[in-house]
Amino acid sequence: MKVAVVGATGLVGTVMLKVLEERNFPLTELIPVASEKSVGKEITFKGKKFPIVSMDTAIGMRPDIALFSAGGNTSLEHAPRFKEAGTTVIDNSSAWRMDPAIKLIVPEVNAHELSIDNKIIANPNCSTIQMVVVLKPLHDKYKIKRVVVSTYQSVTGTGVKAVDQLMNERNGVDGPKAYPYEIDLNVLPHIDVFMDNGYTKEEMKMVKETNKIMSDDNIRVTATTVRIPVMGGHSESVNIEFENDFDLAEVRSILEKSPGIIVVDDVANLKYPMPKDAHEKDEVFVGRIRRDESAPKALNLWIVADNLRKGAATNAVQIAEYLLQKELV
């Protein structure tokens, strides 16, 4: 089982390697891939050194699986080349997500859609992943009509430059900027570029990806995505309107029994999910579960997950685990 990690030196790529190691993924050969300037350098995996190779070298080694986290343009150019070599690509960029021929997968929700013919598989947006893990079991029971989500997203979602900007501002150091404004002691209601409809690309990703993953275009979604000066994970305030009424105790029970979810909801003892608690965890945390008293059949939730793990690296590795388990690779 040869596994290539494309973008092995980036934030998500580094976490992919960590997750593969922690989950003891049964690979026999690791092929770390990065830009030309990194070729020849070494990364450490399970105590052993592996040289970083070029894209062409990696394709020639014909890996069974390639985990991509190197940006959309890189994926568009090179994922088909890996596919031609017989490799199954799991891509973390936005390049393939809305392509009707490509599966957009969150294992807890729709892994059953995968077949041996799916040689390029898309990993959804981080903020979408954690939300649909929670929406799916509730949709199965009560049928969701509408979702209103506001996100509170970690700077790690932008990358190393954004983390550096936050820490530089915190330490009074002038340096390169990832954002058009200061992020420390501030909140930016702006993730990705603005579109003609006034929404950002990140907001529209949440709308379209949710419909695709849930296989239901009747679920109406509206989103406001916000960058905040934290690291460790993304948080989301989610309001869900159902077709059918629900019992709060049953909602909690459904979520507690659903794979990949941990319920932290004890307001009497001030227990609720926070990014610090989700940091370096693979699960999605849910709390502040309460009825929306302004609307019938509506529910409020607070959802938190580590955006580099479940929101990216872990989800990709879980897809790879599913492919192995079902002998699809």
**Which residues are documented as binding site for phosphate?**
97
- C-alpha distances (whole Å) from 5 to each of 68, 111, 314 are 6, 21, 13
Q: HEC states along the chain?
A: CEEEEECCCCHHHHHHHHHHHHCCCCCCEEEEECCHHHCCCEEEECCEEEECECHHHHHHCCCCEEEECCCHHHHHHHHHHHHHCCCEEEECCCCCCCCCCCEECCHHHHHHHCCCCCCEEECCCHHHHHHHHHHHHHHHHHCEEEEEEEEEECHHHCCHHHHHHHHHHHCCCCCCCCCCCCCCCCCECCCCCECCCCCEHHHHHHHHHHHHHHCCCCCEEEEECCECCCCCCEEEEEEEEECCCCCHHHHHHHHHHCCCEEECCEHHHCECCCHHHHCCCCCEEEEEEEECCCCCCEEEEEEEECCCHHHHHHHHHHHHHHHHHCCCC
Active site residues: 126, 234
Separation between Cα atoms, residue 70 and residue 228, nearest integer Å? 24
Tokens 């070729």 belong to residue:
39
CB atoms within 10 A of CB 116: 11
- How many residues comprise the chain? 329
User: Are 323 and 114 a contacting pair, CB within 8 Å?
Assistant: yes
User: Are 155 and 162 a contacting pair, CB within 8 Å?
Assistant: yes
